[in-house]
Amino acid sequence: MVISPRGRCQCMDAGVKFIPPKQIEKIEVYPPSSSCQHMEIIATLKDGGEQKCLNPETRFAKNFIKTAQKK
């Protein structure tokens, strides 16, 4: 479990660098805010709805919207 139920930031660590796009049901992007200084990206997986933090610094995260459009 990498997501804390409460607290300032939701992700406890930097997050994974890659998730196979086909496994992703949705991605939530939380911009920096007063409760968490850095952006957080949380992916919900199709299989069972598991949530994973995705490292926003990765090329995969940066290009996710572009990549999904090419499908």
Q: Does 32 help bind its own copies (rule: CB under 8 A)?
A: yes
- Alpha-carbon Rg for the chain, nearest whole angstrom, is 12
Which of 14, 30, 36, 55 is in the footprint of its own copies by CB under 8 A?
30
> Are 44 and 26 within 8 A, CB to CB?
yes
Which of 3, 39, 50, 55 is in the footprint of its own copies by CB under 8 A?
39
Q: Does 61 help bind its own copies (rule: CB under 8 A)?
A: yes
Exposed / middle / buried, residue 24 (Cβ in 10 Å: 0-12, 13-18, 19+): middle
Q: For binding to its own copies (CB under 8 A), which residues are involved?
A: 21, 24-33, 39, 41, 56-57, 61-62, 64-66, 68-69, 71
